[in-house]
Structure 1
């Protein structure tokens, strides 16, 4: 599919909207009531610190809603205002936050059913309004909705669109896109749909496996049949159809899911650059390696703020955000790598009643910890993912204060 041509035709359609409806002032009150917090505003003004009895709360200096998320949520509210009676769908969660999605359900916004990772569009009819979430939708989904005669409201974050443009440039120049991301994440699925030949790597360890395979071809040698088989078994669900590592790893470019750990994306880029330099030499490097900066500014700011926060003396850390939120998970990783007792929760209701917390340790299932707060003076660090409203952070802090007073 010529994705560029399809995008141009879609953007010129009178059934496609990516700018909103000019109803910002009309929905501002609803957004403020649902998501903003006077307490959080006062904590920001007080140097991101709150003292309450034995409890000292330290907020990260960048957390919560980013501009792209604010834009997506506002556009969803505007869409309901603009289409008061029409049937409105979202192809997935608007963002990875349960409270925000619940608010939209209360506004009679419908969510596409997903079973075993496959979306069921059978109930979507011509004339229905369909909102594409902040992390985008695949080309195939957009094409289906367009052909069905739906009105499409596209809230895709511009930073995600920037990555799409990058992989389209790779495709134009017959370069394989190495995408640092999670294979089944909505954003990575969308990005790979815009790519030509691609390979998704989860982390630096997987990137190293790919680079080892590339270097196995140095000096006229070729990877063994066993090496090739092992490679394809490892990446069979993470590559484009017909992917051939012997052919498709000769020219590569790096892109990423915008919510991955910034430092790891940068290291993966440097690793591939060093690998292609070693494989082909400095004179031919530019013919075999292409790098673009596709790291989201907001993701970077929140990770930098988290690194600064965990450098302070803390007794424990609370990270707030959806359990399927990639950027929130990486904030939790930062705390864990520093050896800080850290708890990832998706809603304030995970705290209490009494001195307990239900949280999700990294890479495992939910578990309950009781007692949660230790006795004596207590320093608690708090941050939240880019999909978490200030009102949710306020409710978490209020519950912590209540526990500390008990």
Structure 2
């Protein structure tokens, strides 16, 4: 059970001086996860193409109406009748008593995440008699993953010993999550003769294509991401030589090493869980290409690109820059749209506080909370409405730097304007449940928002992958 590190009482004024954030804590990762990444190189492009030839591989939703109905019942898709759906038709505004709610223009489920959940539901419906497994959480949302478990879908999770797929037998169904699976996992399940449902977000697959191109051109992939994150683990498995860099501080360290050299042993110790097998910084940093974990901050990725471009320009000169640096656009639009929308809503002087909703292990949600904190506005990050105690007017929430806190009297008496946003793995129902509790704290007689049929959220048509 999660426990708060401290208990505080909320300040009822919305704007505060920007907090002095504590130093970033050391990264924690799984040795077993890294060992998977550092496995012997496999031709990722060839493996992915071979999956299509098995006759046991699906990588697009089939728009099954029964699955859609069940998703609606479970609240794991887009809202079509609830509060969020009604807010979409009212310029993202809602007035409930003395509470004004402003919903960010871009929030919640991105297309790739909703698509992954939909495909998992469709897989269960398509194979009712088969055992169904997912190689990891389908998305970073605890309630959605619990719903899938209730459908008798087994979700593999990392442990101290890594993942053991021995229980998966021929004829079973294996789902690759929205973050993707490693090349080695794909090859394993292809040879196990199982049905494969690949829900990998097309934007993640775009990053894979980029690092594959870097490798074929004999460039080292610099991946902006967190080395233990499932998406980055999968991306690294498609790369030839790679180094995973978390932030601008690490980026600057690597750039300094390229320009001036340094202590090779220190370098390899610093990045021991974030480089490819046999990585040699003196040789493998001569030609580099930048890619990213799709949920990282766009501005930080762009700044990294500029840093490495300046570094290679300084070291090799303008004429040779193209021989030493490549940059392909791998930034996910959905992540950036949610970040831009949060910057916009936190610029609204009428906002008293922000509520950020999303899984506590969600990278893109943590960045939304960071933005709100850096803007100096009171902001509470919760992963679900279960964190809110209506009777006690208190909640358990997380900070952008990972501290879990309990705050009492977080909602003050009198008029209040609340900004709402949510991470890309957060269904509309989670927002509705949080706001339901907010309204109940402010007005004990609140009886809920009556459902109303609203327009369906449009999704793009998928293109064929090359």
TM-score bracket, normalised by the shorter chain, equals over 0.9
Which residue of the partner structure matches residue 327 of structure 1? 364
Which residue of the partner structure matches residue 243 of structure 2? 199
Tell me the CA shift for residue 342 of structure 1: 1.1
In the TM superposition, what whole-angstrom CA distance separates every residue of 1:275-306 from its partner, at most 9, and x where no partner exists?
A: 11111110000000000000011111111111
Which residue of the partner structure matches residue 9 of structure 1? 50
For 2:311 and 2:120, locate their aligned partners in 1 and report how far apart those are by CA, in whole Å. 44
Q: 2:182 aligns with which of 138, 162, 179?
A: 138
Q: Which stretches in structure 1 are left out of the alignment for 5+ residues?
A: 217-222
For 1:117 and 1:231, locate their aligned partners in 2 and report how far apart those are by CA, in whole Å. 27
**Alpha-carbon contact 2:47-2:186 (below 8 Å) kept:** no
Alpha-carbon RMSD across the aligned residues, in angstroms, is 1.3
For 2:193 and 2:102, locate their aligned partners in 1 and report how far apart those are by CA, in whole Å. 50
Which residue of the partner structure matches residue 300 of structure 1? 336
Which residue of the partner structure matches residue 220 of structure 1? none
**Alpha-carbon contact 1:317-1:341 (below 8 Å) kept:** yes
Q: 2:354 aligns with which of 317, 339, 346?
A: 317
Which residue of the partner structure matches residue 379 of structure 2? 342
For 2:326 and 2:180, locate their aligned partners in 1 and report how far apart those are by CA, in whole Å. 24
Tell me the CA shift for residue 340 of structure 1: 1.2
Q: 1:269 aligns with which of 305, 328, 350?
A: 305
For 2:276 and 2:360, locate their aligned partners in 1 and report how far apart those are by CA, in whole Å. 28
Q: How does 1:6-405 map to 2 (within 5 A)?
A: 6-20=47-61, 22-35=62-75, 36=79, 37-116=81-160, 118-216=162-260, 223-224=261-262, 227-313=263-349, 314-353=351-390, 354-405=392-443
**Alpha-carbon contact 2:131-2:173 (below 8 Å) kept:** yes
For 1:6 and 1:108, locate their aligned partners in 2 and report how far apart those are by CA, in whole Å. 29
Tell me the CA shift for residue 387 of structure 1: 0.9
Number of equivalences? 397
For 2:45 and 2:140, locate their aligned partners in 1 and report how far apart those are by CA, in whole Å. 28
**Alpha-carbon contact 2:43-2:238 (below 8 Å) kept:** no
Q: Which stretches in structure 2 are left out of the alignment for 5+ residues?
A: 1-41, 445-466
Give 1 or 2: higher helix fraction: 1
In the TM superposition, what whole-angstrom CA distance separates every residue of 1:245-281 from its partner, at most 9, and x where no partner exists?
A: 1001100000000011111111111111111111111
For 1:404 and 1:120, locate their aligned partners in 2 and report how far apart those are by CA, in whole Å. 48
**Matched residue SS, 2:389:** coil
**Alpha-carbon contact 1:113-1:120 (below 8 Å) kept:** no
**Alpha-carbon contact 2:140-2:362 (below 8 Å) kept:** yes
Tell me the CA shift for residue 363 of structure 1: 2.6
**Matched residue SS, 1:379:** strand
For 2:221 and 2:408, locate their aligned partners in 1 and report how far apart those are by CA, in whole Å. 46
In the TM superposition, what whole-angstrom CA distance separates every residue of 1:290-349 from its partner, at most 9, and x where no partner exists?
A: 000000111111111111111112221111011111111111111011011111111111
For 1:256 and 1:211, locate their aligned partners in 2 and report how far apart those are by CA, in whole Å. 17
Tell me the CA shift for residue 199 of structure 1: 0.3
**Matched residue SS, 1:120:** coil
In the TM superposition, what whole-angstrom CA distance separates every residue of 1:29-51 from its partner, at most 9, and x where no partner exists?
A: 11223232521111122221112
Which residue of the partner structure matches residue 449 of structure 2? none
For 1:112 and 1:125, locate their aligned partners in 2 and report how far apart those are by CA, in whole Å. 14
TM-score by length of 2: 0.83
Tell me the CA shift for residue 4 of structure 1: 1.7
TM-score by length of 1: 0.95
Tell me the CA shift for residue 376 of structure 1: 2.6
**Alpha-carbon contact 1:348-1:392 (below 8 Å) kept:** yes
| Greater relative contact order structure (CA < 8 Å, 6+ sep) | 2
For 1:113 and 1:392, locate their aligned partners in 2 and report how far apart those are by CA, in whole Å. 23
Tell me the CA shift for residue 117 of structure 1: 7.2
In the TM superposition, what whole-angstrom CA distance separates every residue of 1:155-175 from its partner, at most 9, and x where no partner exists?
A: 000000000000000000110
Tell me the CA shift for residue 23 of structure 1: 4.7
- Bigger Cα displacement from structure 2, 125-134 vs 9-18: 9-18
